[in-house]
Amino acid sequence: MKKQGILNSHISKVLADLGHTDTIVIADVGLPIPEGVRKIDLALTLGSPSFEETVNAIASDMEIEKVVVAEEMAADNPKALHYIERKFGGSGVERCPHEEFKRLARKAKAVIRTGEAKPYANVILQAGVYF
């Protein structure tokens, strides 16, 4: 039995299979999941698990070189944007229109759906290399 890191077997497998520049999405309950992209649904109830809790767990187990959020997050969910900028360094966070974000999500290896019920609580994480 695994005793540290991501215990969810589906997420653990996706992270282990990521190559350089592959992406995953951590999403709120409202983001449409693109056809053909694997959905890992963690949502239990509204707000659980939270966006921040899920991002923290994934970030501790994944080498991340790039982070993308929807530019609408700044106006409609500044708390989440502030968290992402603190977590990943403000200058390293890219922004794009929400419609472009949804197009980028089509290329993700997986979308991890949280129970977060706040607007634009979505992030694309691009895998880096640790060597």
Binding residues for substrate: 28, 98, 120-122
Count of beta carbons in the 10 Å neighbourhood of residue 22: 16
DSSP per-residue codes, 76-129:
H-HHHHHHHHHHH-GGGEEEE-HHHHHHHHTT-SEEEE----STT--EEEEE--
Q: Establish whether 10 is a catalytic residue.
A: no
The catalytic residue among 13, 20, 86, 103 is: 20
Q: How far is CA 44 from CA 29, 51, 70, 128, 130, in A?
A: 10, 13, 24, 30, 33
Q: Which residues are catalytic?
A: 20
